[in-house]
Structure 1
Amino acid sequence: MTAPKDDAARRSPAKRRRGRVRSAAWTRRLAVAALVLAALNLRPVVTSLGPVLEEARAALGMSATVAGLLTSVPAVCFALVGSVAPRLARRHGPDGVVLAGMAAVALGLALRPFVGSTPVFLALSGLALAGIAVANVLLPVVVKQRFPDRVGTMTGLYSMALNLGASAAAAVTVPLAGAFGGDWRAGLGAWAVLAAVAVPPWVALARDGRRRAEQQAGQQAGGDAATGAGTHVRVARSPTAWALAVFFGLQATSAYVIMGWLPQVFRDAGLSAETAGLLFAVTSVLGVPLSFVLAAVAGRLRNQSGMAVLLGVFGLAGYAGLWAAPAAAPWLWAVLLGVANCSFPLALTMIGMRGRDGATVIRLSAFAQSVGYLLSVPGPILVGALYQHTGGWRGPLAFVVCLMVPQIAAGYFAGRDRQAA
């Protein structure tokens, strides 16, 4: 008479285990979707504005000086706001902070095209950039916590999505505006829809993160694996952390120079505006597949120094070619610089691998990105000043070539198999 009850009792733990496995698999799929959607929204705030900047300036009465400052605002915002991400993550969990960041991006993108003054436009752009800043810092942390055995692959996946979002916003904003009767405001505001789509997955992930934190709090004092509390690693004293920060900053400098000035270099060399635009598109589009491949390969290696050096050599070759003869082999220079730009996903992968746990990765990501973005601010401005002072590109390009040398050195030290502790 008791056998059926005994069988049910024996089956119950098995059913619970199967339920936990199914729940874990669903959560991992949710995390993949959330990461990709967040990454798609990390650059349209910036890259969607350039194609319609002339119309926006005319409508808002924005001066050329203020428009020029817009190129430096993202890096400054990423540095300053990103530095508070660890404190927010300790209090609300990384998933909850990224959720708030995505909501800020959606709100800023939805409202900024429809205001009538430059200060409010800048403030709403700043709101969206602040959301991006905390996501920049915390996405490597989410990868480390949710996919500890696939850091490189997942970093490559969301880096690929980031490049795709940046390229799509640059290419599609004007056609979107045309679809709404040539209204630049509609072209800009349409990207709020993509940001809004990213919010629901992070709502679910934040709930799961809270459950994980509560469970781990019962096993580990303070729940340090989930929130960063209880582990106090002074990353500012770590040579590895400083190497990562310098590498991140110098690769960002190179990326901003390419985004800001590469088309002008080609146009000044005698190429048409259309050709210059296509060459710039090559450097951007290359990052979509290469980001995934390089980060995935880097994640399987214990030491990424060789990859960092190799990417730096590509950059040296590309800038040297532009310096010597920009019109001689422009497609080759564009490809070389497109490959060199993949230092960004490599830097993100190394951040995830140099921290031994989620708490360390939070601090390391905030430190490397905040210091790195601050380091990147003067570079594009100095390039512009040298160009204006000399009237040509030999001086500015020689300056960028010189910057590639410390980038290679920093990448070599950041890529060694050592923990930032």
Structure 2
Amino acid sequence: MRTPPTTRPPLPGSPARPAAGGLTLLGVVLLALNLRAAIAGLAPLLPDVRGDLGLTGGAAGLLTTLPVLCFGLLSPFAALLGRRVGIEAALLLAMLGIIAGSLVRTGPGFWWLVAGTVVVGAGITVGNVLVPSIVKQDFRERQGRVTALTTAALTGGAALAAAVAAPLAHAGLGWRGTLLLVGGLAAVAAIVWLPQLRRRHPAPAARLGGTDVLRSPVTWQLAGFMGMQSLTYYALLAWLPTLLRDAGVPATGAGWALALFNLLGIVTAVAAPALAARRRDQRGLALLVCGAWGVGLLGLLAAPALYLLWATVTGLAQGAGIGLALALLVIRAGTPESARDLSGTVQSVGYLLGSTGPVLLGVLRDGSGGWTLPLGALCAAVALMAAASLGAGRDRQV
């Protein structure tokens, strides 16, 4: 029996596949839109969740750190799923996982919330790993523009969820209904993505790292830079609304500050890689990012009434930080193979370090009774990021 044409990879020089046109692009953008929303939507609701379930700061931080922990631990398994069932089917399963996890999160009690958050995190991990693969596969001639578009969608989804979560919850939906609604948006992406199941392409093999990569100091300097960037970002993503509400900012205002924090990152996440690619040495750019982080964190500590200004500064810093970290994975790699190995190692270590941020801040907040010690800890993380950048940004290759 002949293999249907839609299952064959295109021949070199053949015309673009119809499936890689507008509908595929819309599907990819909608997939990306859901890859942070379910995490960002929880942050403005943490005070309500804590009050309802009687959670400590560490337990509340665990809820926002679990998805990031999934990023670090489950990425190789996400790639394996893509190889077994195909990228297209795996991405549909990712959206279904976000929907199912959001439904489980509405169950009674803390452990239902934990279980649902793990399922959501697993779904997002599959999307994190395989959306770049689908972009490279289907948009080879314009992958730069489509990558910028998916980055904007990812950050925009987080900003939208952060902005609407508190108003929806306080308008009568409650925190459970709001989490279900935000996660349920993945159903739209799943429906639009369904036609792609007519094709099946296996994901490329994933590797954590070769011997040369693991022995190189550049690898660990990059991991330190990305890890401290991720720790600071996810800690602030989780706790910024609570910090502001403790300072007397209304819930809606705190949610809008978190939305601004995420939204402004779109601009610098796209701009930072372009600036980095024009330089042989990126240390100055990296130190500028760290400086912006430091100014924003110290501003939140010293003058929380100017929270919109500090949300702007930290938002620009976080977008530039992740954009620069991802760009350095390519710039510091000497070959395509080392780029693959370097990316796998650095992102796994970076996300594992990043996952400690929300829990660390929650524990420090409970232990000290205020935000001076937690924000001081984040400033220390930024200092470590700056130290790592002196090696990661130097003109060397793995």
Q: What band does the TM-score fall into relative to the shorter chain?
A: 0.7 to 0.9
**CA apart distance, 1:256:** 2.3
Q: What is the TM-score normalised by the length of structure 2?
A: 0.77
**Are residues 1:334 and 2:311 paired?**
yes
What residue number does 2:187 align with?
196
**CA apart distance, 1:307:** 3.1
Equivalent-residue separation in structure 1 for 2:285 and 2:193 (angstroms): 33
| 2:286 aligns with one of 308, 312, 322 | 308
Q: CA-to-partner distance for each residue in 1:333-388, whole Å, 9 max, x for gaps?
A: 33221111111233334445656787665544442222112212334444444444
| 2:297 aligns with one of 298, 302, 319 | 319
**Distance 1:286-1:66 versus aligned 2 partners, 3 A rule:** same
**Are residues 1:41 and 2:41 paired?**
no
| 1:136 aligns with one of 128, 139, 142 | 128
Equivalent-residue separation in structure 2 for 1:286 and 1:200 (angstroms): 29
Q: Secondary structure at the match of 2:14?
A: helix
Contact 2:38 2:183 in 1 (8 A): no
What residue number does 1:11 align with?
none
**CA apart distance, 1:251:** 0.8
Q: Which amino acid aligns with 2:107?
A: V
**CA apart distance, 1:327:** 4.6
Count, aligned residues: 386
**CA apart distance, 1:301:** 6.0
**Distance 1:365-1:30 versus aligned 2 partners, 3 A rule:** farther
Contact 1:153 1:299 in 2 (8 A): no
Q: Secondary structure at the match of 1:70?
A: helix
**Are residues 1:375 and 2:370 paired?**
no
Contact 2:66 2:117 in 1 (8 A): no
Q: Which amino acid aligns with 1:137?
A: V
Q: Which amino acid aligns with 1:339?
A: L
Contact 2:264 2:316 in 1 (8 A): yes
**Distance 1:268-1:48 versus aligned 2 partners, 3 A rule:** closer
Contact 1:102 1:195 in 2 (8 A): yes
Contact 1:94 1:138 in 2 (8 A): yes
Q: CA-to-partner distance for each residue in 1:236-266, whole Å, 9 max, x for gaps?
A: 3444433332222111111123223434555
**CA apart distance, 1:404:** 1.4
What residue number does 2:325 align with?
347
Q: Which moved more, 1:70-79 or 1:118-127?
A: 118-127
**Are residues 1:126 and 2:95 paired?**
no
**Distance 1:135-1:416 versus aligned 2 partners, 3 A rule:** farther
**Distance 1:415-1:145 versus aligned 2 partners, 3 A rule:** farther
Q: Secondary structure at the match of 2:35?
A: coil
**CA apart distance, 1:163:** 1.5
What residue number does 2:101 align with?
108
Equivalent-residue separation in structure 1 for 2:174 and 2:72 (angstroms): 33
**Distance 1:268-1:326 versus aligned 2 partners, 3 A rule:** farther
What residue number does 1:220 align with?
none
**CA apart distance, 1:78:** 2.0
Equivalent-residue separation in structure 1 for 2:71 and 2:314 (angstroms): 24
**Are residues 1:167 and 2:177 paired?**
no
| 2:68 aligns with one of 49, 63, 75 | 75
**Structure 1 gaps, min length 5:** 1-15, 214-225
Q: Which amino acid aligns with 2:150?
A: Y
Q: CA-to-partner distance for each residue in 1:32-62, whole Å, 9 max, x for gaps?
A: 3333212211122222234455666787x57
**CA apart distance, 1:148:** 5.8
**CA apart distance, 1:112:** 2.0
Q: Secondary structure at the match of 1:123?
A: helix
| 1:286 aligns with one of 240, 244, 264 | 264
Q: Secondary structure at the match of 1:42?
A: coil
**CA apart distance, 1:165:** 0.9
What residue number does 1:260 align with?
238
Q: Which moved more, 1:405-414 or 1:144-153?
A: 144-153
What is the RMSD computed on CA atoms of the aligned residues?
Answer: 4.0
Q: Secondary structure at the match of 1:227?
A: coil
Equivalent-residue separation in structure 1 for 2:249 and 2:176 (angstroms): 31
Higher relative contact order (CA 8 A, sep 6+): 2
**Distance 1:141-1:299 versus aligned 2 partners, 3 A rule:** farther
Q: Secondary structure at the match of 1:72?
A: helix
Contact 1:263 1:280 in 2 (8 A): yes
Q: Which amino acid aligns with 2:73?
A: L
Q: CA-to-partner distance for each residue in 1:94-145, whole Å, 9 max, x for gaps?
A: 5543333223223323x32553454344323311210111222333444455
Q: What is the TM-score normalised by the length of structure 1?
A: 0.74
Q: CA-to-partner distance for each residue in 1:5-54, whole Å, 9 max, x for gaps?
A: xxxxxxxxxxx99993242x751655533332122111222222344556
Q: Which moved more, 1:356-365 or 1:129-138?
A: 356-365
Equivalent-residue separation in structure 2 for 1:101 and 1:236 (angstroms): 30
Contact 2:20 2:139 in 1 (8 A): no
**Distance 1:93-1:304 versus aligned 2 partners, 3 A rule:** farther
**Are residues 1:400 and 2:381 paired?**
no
Q: Which amino acid aligns with 1:163?
A: T
What residue number does 2:3 align with?
none
**Distance 1:255-1:94 versus aligned 2 partners, 3 A rule:** same
